[in-house]
Structure 1
Amino acid sequence: MASTNHGASVKNSDTYEALREDGASKQKAARIANAQANDSQHPSVKGGKAPPYEEWTKDELYGRAQELDIDDRSSMSKGDLITALRNT
């Protein structure tokens, strides 16, 4: 796999490119690649500390969608927000 410089925002180019080839969005691939390049983060370790999205309030889901800059979040139902968050 040819390594390409994706700029300062991507810390692990090989991981980024592999994730993109597997169909991950640019944002998701960058988040994972950067987490793997950061010694203080362990993206391969399952967290399991947060409750499932179904237990979150709509306001909490909306806040998380806002953090991730999900488009059209203001018009989404709770179920739509859950789906959008899981697909990000």
Structure 2
Amino acid sequence: MPNSSIKNEKLYEDLRREGNSKEKAARIANAAAARGASAVGRKGGRSGSYDDWSVDELKKRAKELGLSGYSRLTKDKLISELRNH
């Protein structure tokens, strides 16, 4: 069923099949529709690996994303949750 808030439905579905979260797939699909796919592909920034973050930093990020149940997770499981939210 088409979602009126998704501007490039095919790209959205492709990104979801690749394993991206709904939020990330929608953000990328809508940006590509607005600015063109090649412009969106060039825009990406650099971010450090979650492996380099402290557990406190990871928990803060989980809280920012609205995740729950992260307080008792090991660092590896917390990283997995953040990557797959």
Paired positions, count: 81
RMSD: 2.6
Percent identity reads 43
Greater CA deviation, 14-23 or 51-60? 14-23
The equivalent residue for 1:62 is: 59
For structure 2, the residue ranges without an aligned partner over 5 or more in a row are none
The equivalent residue for 2:23 is: 27
Choose from 69, 81, 85 the match for 1:84. 81
Q: 1:57 to 1:22 in 2, by over 3 A?
A: closer
TM-score w.r.t. the length of structure 1 is 0.63
Structure 1 residue ranges (4+ consecutive) displaced by more than 6 angstroms after TM superposition: none
Question: How far off its partner does 1:52 sit?
Answer: 1.3
Choose from 3, 6, 14 the match for 1:6. 3
- Alpha-carbon distance between aligned partners in 1 of 2:8 and 2:21, rounded to the nearest angstrom: 15
Q: 1:86 to 1:21 in 2, by over 3 A?
A: closer
- Alpha-carbon distance between aligned partners in 1 of 2:19 and 2:75, rounded to the nearest angstrom: 26
Deviations 1:67-87 (A, max 9, x none): 322332222222211111222
Query: Which structure is higher in helix share?
Result: 2
Question: How far off its partner does 1:6 sit?
Answer: 0.6
Q: 1:20 to 1:51 in 2, by over 3 A?
A: closer
- Alpha-carbon distance between aligned partners in 1 of 2:32 and 2:61, rounded to the nearest angstrom: 22
